[in-house]
Amino acid sequence: MVQNTALIVDDDSTAREILTGMLDRIGCESIAANDGTEALATVDSSGISVVLCDWDMPGISGVDLCTQLRQRSEGRYIYFILVSGRTERDSIVAGLEAGADDFICKPVDLDELTVKIKSAFRIINLERQLEERNARLQRAYATVTEDLLIAGNIQSNLLPAPYPNEGCDTAWLFKPAHYVSGDMFDYFKFDDRYWIFFVMDVEGHGIPSALTVFSVNNQLNPAATGLCARMLNNCNTVEEACIGTVSELNALSVQGGRYFTMIYGVLDMETGKVTMTQAGHPAVLHLSRSNGVVSEIGDGGMPVGLLEEATYEAVSCQLQPGDRLFVYSDGTIECTDVEEKLYGQARMEARIIELKEQPVASVCARIDQDLSQWNGDKPFDDDVTLLAIEYTGVKK
């Protein structure tokens, strides 16, 4: 049907002919239905969006027809005009409450009908434009969502596999707040002695933060030509290599518009000494197997990419076989419940101590369960990352 066609519903053939003639004079095509049942079938088959309906009809009245049309869940909107000789206020209110958009009294005045019909089609056309715009937005949203899912899968594929090898055992927890995360971590072996690890948390969320993650992860790759290898090969000490790595990341990132916090560390597999640079990131937790005490390593540092003149320091810790390190992003301890109460570092430390005899994978799984229960059904406010490292020692 053409867009400027109206459906006339009236059991009186003379009334239908009069309305048909009047619509024809104002340039509006029309089709007619004898009663409400025929009108429902016509609406279904014709695509009509404007209905002029008599109030008093046998069977389905005009008000009943309007109610039935409003109860339908079909996509298009039906603009409904009640036509009646009733002029009392209560009748008009009852018709509008049933869902009618407008009301016109008999005998129908041509000028009044002209105004109301033009208004009806103007509104219908606006509805159609809005529907088309929404359809385009939905298609665009579906495309963006699909792309974000792909990006999230790519990011997940960058995460390292568990490392239950000689020297150390690892496990981790990773919960993006959105499709892609502003958190990232990795670990890998360098030559036969050193084991490199890092955890980073980019300011903000979503795609911009994830792009920074991809960029930094590309810099901190295990290749012999990568930043990590170059620093360890060219610096005199591991401390200098850790400081140099983070300093160079700062120089590369300061113009990028997004800063991030991080822990960058190197574990000497032969001695158990771990050396780290803390750049505005929460302190690393060290669990001593001998006494079951958790202590913090590191007390601050400047985020990476925030100030060009930022300087960094190295901190170190001696690990004994069975000791564990826990490196996490602030989204872990700042997870909130429905009352906005934080999960908190003390609660996480208590869980770490409680499960000190369990494998690190069990510790991460339990904290994952804790956070899911603590957060409830609401989306996570921030990305969550927890990396657990147990130093097992190297057999001589």
Q: Where are the domains of the chain?
A: 5-133, 159-393
Q: What 3-state DSSP class applies to 167?
A: strand
Which residues have C-beta within 8 Å of that of residue 376, sequence separation ≥ 6?
337, 338
For residue 10, what pLDDT is reported?
94
> What CATH architecture is 159-393?
4-Layer Sandwich (3.60)
Query: Which of 33-42, 153-162, 197-206, 341-350 shows the lowest mean pLDDT across its residues?
Result: 153-162
- List the end-to-end C-alpha distance of the chain, in Å, as a whole number: 86
Angstrom distance (rounded) from CA 263 to CA 245:
11
Strands (E) across the chain are located at 5-9, 29-33, 50-54, 79-84, 102-105, 167-175, 183-190, 194-202, 260-268, 273-279, 284-287, 294-297, 315-318, 324-328, 384-393
Residue 168 · residue 267 · CB < 8 Å: yes
pLDDT of 162 strictly over 80: no
Peptide bond into 107 cis (omega under 30): yes
Residue 152, pLDDT score: 81
The predicted-structure confidence for 323-362, as pLDDT tens digits, reads as follows: 999 999 999 999 999 999 999 999 999 999 999 999 999 9
- CA 32/CA 225 separation, integer angstroms: 80
Report pLDDT for 73.
59
* pLDDT confidence tier of residue 305, bands split at 50, 70 and 90: very high
* 159-393 shares the fold of 5-133: no
What's the pLDDT band for 1 if we cut at 50, 70, 90?
Answer: very low
How confident is residue 112, by pLDDT bands cut at 50, 70 and 90? very high
The percent of residues above 70 in pLDDT, for the chain, comes to 97
Whole-angstrom distance, CA of residue 170 vs CA of residue 389: 5
Q: Which CATH superfamily is domain 5-133 in?
A: Response regulator (3.40.50.2300)
**CA neighbor of 232 nearest in space, from 217, 243, 219:** 243
Name the phi and psi angles at 140, rounded to 5: -65, -40
pLDDT in tens, 16-65: 999 999 999 998 999 999 999 999 999 888 888 899 999 989 999 999 99
Report residue 257's pLDDT band, with 50, 70 and 90 as the boundaries. Answer: low
